[in-house]
Structure 1
Amino acid sequence: MDQAALRAVIGRFPLVAATVAAGIVVAVLLGLGEDLAARWTASAYAMVVAVVRSGSMFKALLRGRWGIDLLAVTAIAATVVVGEYVAALIIVLMLAGGEALEDIAEGRATRELRSLLERTPQTAHRERNGGPPEDIPADAVCPGDVLLIKPSEVVPVDGMLLTAAGSFDESTLTGESLPVEHVKGDALLSGSVNGDNAVHMKAASTAKDSQYSQIVALVQEAAASRAPVVRLADRYAVPFTLLAFALAMVGWYMSQDPARFAQVLVVATPCPLLIAAPVAFLAGTSRAARSGIIIKNGGTLEQLARVRTAVFDKTGTLTHGRPTLEETRISTEAAGLITADRLLQLAASAEQYSSHVLASSVIDAARQHGLDLLPGSNATEHATQGVTATCGHHAVVVGKPGFVRSVTTGFEEADTAGGQLAVYVGVDGHFVGALVMRDPLRNNAVRTLDALRRLGVQETLLLTGDAQGTAEQIASQAGIARVKSGCLPGDKVSIVAGLRKRPVMMVGDGVNDAPVLAAADVGVAMGAKGSTAASESADVVILLDDLSKAALAVDIGQRTIRIALASIWTGILLSIGLMIAAVFGYIPAVAGALLQELVDLATILNALRALRSGGRGSTTAMGGSPVIAAGLR
């Protein structure tokens, strides 16, 4: 190790370095036969550390957290008093080493989260008027700029591929391990990594508004959180501390030797309670990030582990959210006055000003029919209901039946078969027809619902603003027990608030899902290109447009909690066993301190298991969980 690296280690772990230095000095003094000097040096150093630790102990007491530092400080003081100064040094090293191990484990556990932050694009290569590319800050890219992406470079902003074809690594964004092939005209996500060939792209947004910047913001929020399971570990520390002092007193009473009191406390220092739980939670959060799931805070992991009710939006969540046009129906009143293509053109022109997921499908249908969109004015989107706009000198209204009926004459309800939906259109105050579309169920929806039931979800519910017939058809296909149709955003919030089997997980993707995602115990926003409002209000953001990730998130939460609690109890039971042995004098103070260090190491290694997938039965597609693999195979 060179001097720079050594200085970095000392700067990162000063207490470890100081304790090792003190141990070397004590060893040299003992080698020189200066036993008294060695004893005083070790004892003085240990007591200084104990006094410093007392400060954090009193602060913890004021916050209602006691037991962790109290045992450590008492153990150091007791070993010094009875002359076990070597054991006192080992305890100090154990505490310092435990904190160092926690820091290292945190770094390992949050590696995937940090990789997202470190890969934020800083520069872009812009080309203008056929000239050579110029390097500019990524923040200076404007929509419409033509950018050169060199091999292995990170795409700086969202945009469209101009080159005939290209291969991109999107694993950081979506969890997809294989390169993704794109062709000219395909959308490119910022944060993806170009393959072996240089490509050109057209910027569609600024760096600030690109998907990767939003993901980075979510990751920073996730990294800043503190898990409630740490408080759970604190609660275990209270009875553990009382038991440790009781056993220490019993040992002292039985032996009539105060050294026995110190020997018991040496093996009682509860580092597993300090370290195991937060490391497991960080590992679980990082494991989720590697699978394309951003969990914003540790408390959400605990809620995910206990989910009993799963609620789903329909369009874009259970279904693909990309309905295809099956039929354009002209109303009786408008027959002979408007053609199917003209109706579709006017509807699509108005839908340009809507953020609803159906709007893009109507626009795509018009383009597939070779229709040009008309410029519009006086456009107004009526949340969850529809849109009005003046297009081609006509007042156009597009939306739900109730909304269109209220502003037009001659309204006719469209007959739809199971799985179909209708978008209603009015022109100049008259109802002119409906666009009948179909949005099929996702291929993995049934298997995802089965997996959730295997994970302990007892109740499933579909909440949608669509018609009852369409909603019931989709729910029946997916295996969802209950349906609430025709819901406004406020209705969804009220329904979720009234559910009894909690915690409740709500899965959605659109702007109108934001309120109910915030109201649920666990809000899950789907899709890397989903609504910003939905992502901000959700507790979990699934970066890949994959419904099965909702079940994987529940599985990761359950596995993380199991590992955290197993680590806590492993440390507690091992410490209790060592304390009982120490009560009867089988473990000297120095040996006890070394054994306790092994207990710390074992609990940390166990907590880091939360980084791994579930086991040998895991599948890459499902993120590595055997129960998910069983449910979705």
Structure 2
Amino acid sequence: MQRFILGRKNQITLVSALLIAIAFTSELVFHNEDMFEMALIIASISGALPIAIQAFQALRVKVVSIDVLVTIAVTAAFFIGSFEESAIVTFLFLFGAFLEQRTLNKTRSAIRELTEMAPESALKQMESGEFLEVSVDEVQVGDILLVKTGAKVPVDGTVLSGDGYINEASITGESVPVDKARDSQVYAGTILENGTIQIVSDRVGEDTTFGKIIELVEEAQDSKSEAERFIDRFSRNYTPIVLLLAFIVWLVSRDIELAITILVLGCPGALVIGVPVSNVAGIGNGAKNGVLLKGSEVIHDFSRVDTIVFDKTGTLTAGNPAVAEIEIYSENSGEILGYVASVENESDHPLAKAIVEYIGAKDFHKVEGTDVVKGGGVIANIAGHRVAAGNIALMEQENVHLNEKAREDAARFEKNGNSLVLASVDGELKALIGIRDQIRPGVKDDLKKLKKLGVRNLVVLSGDNQGTVDLVANELGLTEAHGHMLPADKAEYIRGLQAKGKIVAFVGDGVNDSPSLALAEIGIAMGSGTDVAIETSDIVLMNSDFSRLPHALGLAKSTANNMLQNIIIAIGVVLVLLLLLGVFFSEWMNMSIGMLVHEASILVVILNGMRLLRYGLK
């Protein structure tokens, strides 16, 4: 019976509203006092049933909940013949709970949207070679799947054949499609906007990146911060105090209506709901914008951060060497670059790959007699010419003369933090190429945003030499820069900052820097949703998108402020109502008005929290 009644709370609310409307119509239009009173009695009883059941369930687990206060107040009002107030109070309480649930559901819309994006079926290759549609639960690791235009990628996998553009907004928050070809990684829940691809399944079900994101965000929204735990303790103690206060008032004044009104006004509903709704909305906003926040406690700590420490490679920089500067000592630069690219294409060295990527494959020449010199470079014959590409030691081995300008250029390139690659043709220096790990586009502007958000110290720690780290720090305007740092050194440096009273966030790749990520108050992982990043950090910036960091910090600060605003609103409304009760009770304050204002305060804090769903860094 209890389950039956509680399952029909919305219908009971509607019936109560109709009965109250009938009651007042009977009195005001037809002057029928009997119908007026009967309708209010039925409305009071029907409306009180679900509230009383919830109160009983709370008392069974030794909790004096808001429902207990309202049940006592309504029952007392009913027995003293205040049917009008008992009916209106029960209706307002039920209607407030209905609106509360509706608006709370909206704050969880980000998670529902993620869940709805989860694929349900896949085209799986059978033993016969044909592709048949199966449930995604039937897909195993190693299965070959076909994804067509407009379809969702069913699992995390690797492209075997075909190409196309995939919308990865469900993983990264970015709606710009990403080009995928053979050997590219694809993620469950993303959408193939055009093309057709075959993939091999690498991770399925809850093990996919998409599955882990949903699990993480759901856990985060269910977590409680210290503020929420305080409110839980406060409300458990506060509710019995209100009961005691109402009883004392009745003993002193013998005014039962005054005591009942105190019970209604003292309900801490807005206080209980205000912080959780801010938490849910803030985490939901982050999930939609490629920022995974692991719970309300993380939001609170991150909002107070005054120092952010960065790993350099893969965080402030792209993590891949690229050609930054080049000097050509020949009139025919196109031919020289073609020779260099052709020779470097024979090597698997990262610097060689950077050169080939920079020059491109369109000018490749036929290469013969390739000789890879360990620790030096590559030598080969192209169209009857002896071409060498490598470091200064290789040039000396080839008896290549470096004139004064070439040496000055080399010194300048090295000062700028470049690794040098020199190229000669038939013993003459023809090209000098500077290669370095490039700073991520937009990082400088993002760091300025962090400073505007109140971060006073921006520090870079790196295993690179001090000169290279200083160059990055100077270009980006960082507070401090330290090179030659091993993972243990970085962790020790963070301990030193914390000993000075700094609240530290560490931004790294989630793998090599795991000690620092764990040690800092907030660990922030740059990573495309990797397992290690999700497991070791407090915050994950999906797709290694550095621009998400200012959004994450701004969102954390706004969410923490929103929680505080809701606490002030909730407590303020209760205090004001009790004050007005003491001053103006005899004139206009009563149970119905008190409950109306009480429910309004709940809606105010919910709507205030929902503003976070639209948060965007200005």
User: In structure 1, what residue type is equivalent to 2:146?
Assistant: L
Contact 2:166 2:192 in 1 (8 A): yes
TM-score, normalised to structure 2, is 0.72
Aligned to 2:617: 625
What is the alpha-carbon distance in structure 2 between the residues aligned to residue 79 and residue 420 of structure 1? Answer: 82
Aligned to 2:384: none
Question: For 2:448, which of 447, 450, 453 is the aligned residue?
Answer: 450
Q: Which moved more, 1:294-303 or 1:103-112?
A: 103-112
Within 5 Å, give how 1:545-556 maps onto structure 2: 545-556=544-555
Q: Which string of whole-angstrom CA distances, capped at 9 and with x for unpartnered residues, describes residues 221-259 of structure 1?
A: 334423433224346658976996798689769976331
SS in structure 1 of the partner of residue 544 of structure 2: coil
Q: Which moved more, 1:275-284 or 1:583-592?
A: 583-592
Question: For 2:172, which of 171, 174, 182 is the aligned residue?
Answer: 174
Cα displacement (A) at 1:276: 1.6
Aligned to 1:315: 313
Cα displacement (A) at 1:317: 0.6
Contact 1:87 1:593 in 2 (8 A): no
What is the alpha-carbon distance in structure 1 between the residues aligned to residue 38 and residue 210 of structure 2? Answer: 63
Structure-2 change in CA distance of 1:96 and 1:485 (3 Å): farther
SS in structure 1 of the partner of residue 202 of structure 2: coil
Aligned to 1:595: 597
Q: Which string of whole-angstrom CA distances, capped at 9 and with x for unpartnered residues, describes residues 447-481 of structure 1?
A: 22221121121222222222222222212222221
Q: Which string of whole-angstrom CA distances, capped at 9 and with x for unpartnered residues, describes residues 253-291 of structure 1?
A: 997633122223322322101212111110111011111
Q: Which moved more, 1:292-301 or 1:216-225?
A: 216-225
Contact 1:90 1:594 in 2 (8 A): no
Structure-2 change in CA distance of 1:22 and 1:317 (3 Å): same
Aligned to 1:541: 540
User: In structure 2, what residue type is equivalent to 1:600?
Assistant: I
What is the alpha-carbon distance in structure 1 between the residues aligned to residue 38 and residue 103 of structure 2? Answer: 39
Cα displacement (A) at 1:144: 8.1
Structure-2 change in CA distance of 1:235 and 1:453 (3 Å): farther
Q: Does the alignment pair 1:608 with 2:605?
A: no
Aligned to 2:217: 219
Structure-2 change in CA distance of 1:215 and 1:257 (3 Å): closer
User: In structure 2, what residue type is equivalent to 1:521?
Assistant: E
Structure-2 change in CA distance of 1:10 and 1:507 (3 Å): farther
Q: Which moved more, 1:544-553 or 1:89-98?
A: 89-98
SS in structure 2 of the partner of residue 288 of structure 1: helix
Contact 1:309 1:505 in 2 (8 A): yes
Aligned to 1:528: 528
User: In structure 1, what residue type is equivalent to 2:561?
Assistant: R
Contact 2:526 2:544 in 1 (8 A): yes
Structure-2 change in CA distance of 1:268 and 1:321 (3 Å): same
Q: Which string of whole-angstrom CA distances, capped at 9 and with x for unpartnered residues, describes residues 63-103 of structure 1?
A: xxx78566545544553464434434444444444444443
What is the alpha-carbon distance in structure 1 between the residues aligned to residue 264 and residue 217 of structure 2? Answer: 40
Aligned length, in residue pairs? 530
Cα displacement (A) at 1:600: 2.0
What is the alpha-carbon distance in structure 1 between the residues aligned to residue 101 and residue 353 of structure 2? Answer: 51
Cα displacement (A) at 1:158: 3.0
**What is the alpha-carbon root mean square deviation over aligned residues?**
4.5
Cα displacement (A) at 1:118: 3.0
Contact 1:102 1:279 in 2 (8 A): no
Q: Does the alignment pair 1:491 with 2:483?
A: no
SS in structure 2 of the partner of residue 153 of structure 1: coil
Q: Which moved more, 1:455-464 or 1:315-324?
A: 455-464
User: In structure 2, what residue type is equivalent to 1:625?
Assistant: L
Aligned to 1:564: 563
Q: Which moved more, 1:77-86 or 1:458-467?
A: 77-86
What is the alpha-carbon distance in structure 1 between the residues aligned to residue 226 and residue 170 of structure 2? Answer: 27
Structure-2 change in CA distance of 1:45 and 1:272 (3 Å): closer
What is the alpha-carbon distance in structure 1 between the residues aligned to residue 53 and residue 127 of structure 2? Answer: 70
Structure-2 change in CA distance of 1:124 and 1:32 (3 Å): same
Q: Name structure 2 gaps, 5 residues minimum.
A: 24-31, 326-339, 362-372, 376-410, 422-432
Q: Which string of whole-angstrom CA distances, capped at 9 and with x for unpartnered residues, describes residues 370-395 of structure 1?
A: 99xxxxxxxxxxxxxxxxxxxxxx99
Within 5 Å, give how 1:42-53 maps onto structure 2: 42=44, 46=48, 49-50=51-52, 52-53=54-55
Structure-2 change in CA distance of 1:34 and 1:570 (3 Å): closer
What is the alpha-carbon distance in structure 1 between the residues aligned to residue 351 and residue 201 of structure 2? Answer: 21
What is the alpha-carbon distance in structure 1 between the residues aligned to residue 14 and residue 341 of structure 2? Answer: 83
Within 5 Å, give how 1:390-401 maps onto structure 2: none
What is the alpha-carbon distance in structure 1 between the residues aligned to residue 545 and residue 534 of structure 2? Answer: 15
Structure-2 change in CA distance of 1:57 and 1:549 (3 Å): farther
Aligned to 2:370: none
Contact 2:265 2:598 in 1 (8 A): yes
Aligned to 2:439: 441
Within 5 Å, give how 1:236-255 maps onto structure 2: 237=235
User: In structure 1, what residue type is equivalent to 2:199?
Assistant: K
Within 5 Å, give how 1:86-485 maps onto structure 2: 86-127=84-125, 132-138=130-136, 140=139, 142-143=141-142, 145=144, 147-154=146-153, 156-160=155-159, 162-163=161-162, 166-177=164-175, 179-182=176-179, 184-185=181-182, 187-195=185-193, 197-203=194-200, 205-207=202-204, 210-234=208-232, 237=235, 257-324=255-322, 361=350, 364-365=353-354, 416-420=414-418, 437-485=435-483
Aligned to 1:411: none
Aligned to 1:352: none
Q: Which moved more, 1:263-272 or 1:182-191?
A: 182-191
Structure-2 change in CA distance of 1:253 and 1:224 (3 Å): closer
What is the alpha-carbon distance in structure 2 between the residues aligned to residue 478 and residue 578 of structure 1? Answer: 54
Cα displacement (A) at 1:556: 0.5
Structure-2 change in CA distance of 1:134 and 1:540 (3 Å): same
Q: Does the alignment pair 1:513 with 2:505?
A: no
Cα displacement (A) at 1:565: 1.9
Structure-2 change in CA distance of 1:169 and 1:440 (3 Å): same
Structure-2 change in CA distance of 1:80 and 1:461 (3 Å): farther
